[in-house]
Structure 1
């Protein structure tokens, strides 16, 4: 029986070939009209690169060592390892020779601590660009090895399009660009050793390769995210010698108002106050994760005691309003949430069920530990707000709560713990504040976990280091979208080197642009009060310089 005639119209052979090719191109990358195998290539092999700052003289880069494909032994004396110690964040920029479809970037580091004083970086950033002036960050990775004692070990830090994608470009199969940048901060005492970097992908532009949107770095500006606070003074009211943590209205007034040498208010100063405590009578630090329920309750009761720290702040705010012309202004207040940690098995019974809260994942499992940590934070915040409302402060406005740990916990549930804390704060319609230190673990995730306002600590004041630290910290803060913390204590009045470090923060405000950003001020316990009331002109000058900085004047 003859075959039935086809009802599909015929078409030229080349159209059929084009259709076949198109179907293959869906599954295979397309390079200038040619189908290729889908196996990424090492695009950086043998390529040249530049360092933002030369490696250490005793561990130099002899030329293209990082792209020669040779890994060093787990031995710091192996010349394959290139070293960086102190100074600014290191940036290594690889020129791929032309725009490529980049699917992966990674870098290999060594750790040997404490015997060789070598640590892996805490965080490594990866960026792509068509021009070295228009970088687009595609990923950041925190160490999974973590810092710790032990034999020599190594770690790859990596970004891969399959795992992390390209920011704001869902479905992207590659990042398209010519230049790749790998960045990592360096420790003040330990070296960071790298022996290899690798960029993988395809020559040309494959289907799904996108040009990442360039970064738009910028400081956190005062506004809704900061509950309207521009300048936030840290007031420590924990347990200190000589009752220094017990505040009076007279001691607090020079923070809310700029005062003259006779102590009279002549203008406004800080528009926000963060009241926080660390040490308790038991000697346990509220930020350590080891403080138990009685320690937390002691701090809460001290803060809200009749005639106590908040009462004195309310009184000082009223005195400032009475002394200065213009409408009265409530002082914005942020209160602290201590760190529940993840170690305690007997925190205390916060819900009255007769069972102490176990916060330890090894003892009760990760999910139950997180739930118990959240329960403690909810108990604490509910108690704070209840006490605040009962106190009826007339001159104060509670606008936020501060997460006391200065980094995201290094455990596997650290980000989830921070996210739950932020959620609790938001449930009370308050702003979540945070102030991470310079080498804080996973600080770049602060917005991802739901925190609203963050100020980055340069930590320049506290130890001798490269003066470029202020500029370096400012750059990191801008890349993370944070504000900055200005740091000093009473020693600036008596130690010329520390005085200069304080001045470096103040001069950096206009030089690096953070003076108009959200700024937090660490001043030890009561340094600014001591400066304000000093009869020594040089010491009093420090108070006036800080006040000028807050007022927006350029410090020279």
Structure 2
């Protein structure tokens, strides 16, 4: 007869031995059960968060400091992936347009530049979103051209747009209907947020993008300091328009696990592992457990440093994300947001290094297969 004693498999040759070890047997079973329960809790108490966007790529667009103008040609490797065998498949099904600063000295969220964006900078950002042959327009054109080449996708491309933050205590934002707004007041910050949403929707409806489905708005503040009091009413206003409110807090962000209490409709958690070589891969395991506990999606993070020829050697850090997310069932179960540094996917697509092509083929294969076979089909 076989049984476990501690961590050893023991053979019992007689009934007497069985009686002798009977108490140890039950102690061992109890210990194993406790360890099993502990392991379950370590991997989170529930499923990952999942919505009708499988793979949401972050498009940093608007500021003059950005390396991309986001033309249809620049969007191509984000819309369709061509592997080393020349096979083409639809890639990201979701696109999040966001911006933190205008590149000219003013920020759309606190802490990114010296001065806060005012109403003219908010209007300028709106114009950038709807600029002809760039941003939304270029993405729609790119999808149209690829439909003609490889056929229609099995999904509609989803669109989310960031909302500039009405930054607490700002007094120089400007006026609405002749009334000067004072962001020391909650109602004035809400007024500005609602104004932006209304202006955005007016512009969006005029464009009638055939291949894009607007899903909602994204809160660009990555923690809740200075804005917690307006999140619930602002989210309610967004939902009154038939849309949803999204968030991606950083790993140590105040309020990161309380996203549902602030009435965000969905949130992804940032591991913040890629950027610092001193952060061990264990962070990715911790993030997977946290996402399951809080029913969140996860963010995958990389930038141009993941290219094989980069002196940092950070390609292994991107590989660590892929390994951890495969191991922990993220690709099968969770919505994923992709931070790629503003042009990472584009730079991979232009690389002639076989290592870069192999790495992007690996990631793209997981993205493509989960939409075709698993994620969006469930």
TM-score, normalisation: structure 2: 0.81
CA gap 1:261/1:216 in 2 versus in 1, 3 angstroms: closer
Question: Runs of 5+ in structure 1 lacking a partner?
Answer: 1-129, 136-180, 184-214, 361-368
DSSP-derived class of the 1:275 partner: strand
CA contact under 8 A between 1:434 and 1:454: conserved in structure 2? yes
Farther off after superposition, 511-520 or 541-550: 541-550
Aligned to 1:220: 49
CA contact under 8 A between 2:93 and 2:155: conserved in structure 1? no
Per the TM alignment, residue 261 of structure 1 is displaced from its structure 2 partner at its CA by 5.7
2:58 corresponds to which of 230, 234, 243 = 234
Q: Does 1:255 align with 2:78?
A: yes
Instruction: Report the Cα distance in structure 1 between the residues aligned to 2:281 and 2:153, rounded to whole angstroms.
Output: 42
Aligned to 1:330: 156
CA gap 1:391/1:249 in 2 versus in 1, 3 angstroms: same
Q: Does 1:339 align with 2:156?
A: no
CA gap 1:345/1:132 in 2 versus in 1, 3 angstroms: farther
DSSP-derived class of the 1:254 partner: helix
More helix by share: 2
CA gap 1:468/1:449 in 2 versus in 1, 3 angstroms: same
2:98 corresponds to which of 276, 287, 293 = 276
Q: Does 1:266 align with 2:59?
A: no
Aligned to 2:248: 435
Alignment of 1:191-206 (within 5 A): none
Instruction: Report the Cα distance in structure 1 between the residues aligned to 2:45 and 2:282, rounded to whole angstroms.
Output: 23
Per the TM alignment, residue 512 of structure 1 is displaced from its structure 2 partner at its CA by 1.6
Aligned to 1:520: 337
DSSP-derived class of the 1:389 partner: helix
DSSP-derived class of the 1:397 partner: strand
Alignment coverage as a number of residue pairs = 327
CA gap 1:514/1:328 in 2 versus in 1, 3 angstroms: closer
Aligned to 1:17: none
Aligned to 1:447: 260
CA contact under 8 A between 1:488 and 1:523: conserved in structure 2? yes
Instruction: Report the Cα distance in structure 2 between the residues aligned to 1:540 and 1:133, rounded to whole angstroms.
Output: 41
Per the TM alignment, residue 216 of structure 1 is displaced from its structure 2 partner at its CA by 3.6
Aligned to 1:146: none
2:317 corresponds to which of 478, 493, 501 = 501
For residues 62-83 of structure 1, what are the alpha-carbon distances to aligned partners after superposition, in whole Å with 9 as ceiling and x for unaligned? xxxxxxxxxxxxxxxxxxxxxx
Higher radius of gyration, 1 or 2: 1
Q: Note the aligned Cα RMSD (angstroms).
A: 2.4
Aligned to 1:529: 346
Farther off after superposition, 496-505 or 370-379: 496-505
For residues 224-276 of structure 1, what are the alpha-carbon distances to aligned partners after superposition, in whole Å with 9 as ceiling and x for unaligned? xx3x11110111113244x62311111101111112469x7711111111111
Q: Does 1:489 align with 2:303?
A: yes
Per the TM alignment, residue 317 of structure 1 is displaced from its structure 2 partner at its CA by 1.0
DSSP-derived class of the 2:136 partner: helix
Aligned to 2:26: none
2:272 corresponds to which of 459, 476, 485 = 459
Instruction: Report the Cα distance in structure 2 between the residues aligned to 1:508 and 1:383, rounded to whole angstroms.
Output: 41
TM-score, normalisation: structure 1: 0.56
Per the TM alignment, residue 390 of structure 1 is displaced from its structure 2 partner at its CA by 0.7
CA gap 1:401/1:325 in 2 versus in 1, 3 angstroms: same
CA gap 1:531/1:240 in 2 versus in 1, 3 angstroms: farther
More strand by share: 1
Aligned to 1:551: 368
CA contact under 8 A between 2:72 and 2:134: conserved in structure 1? no
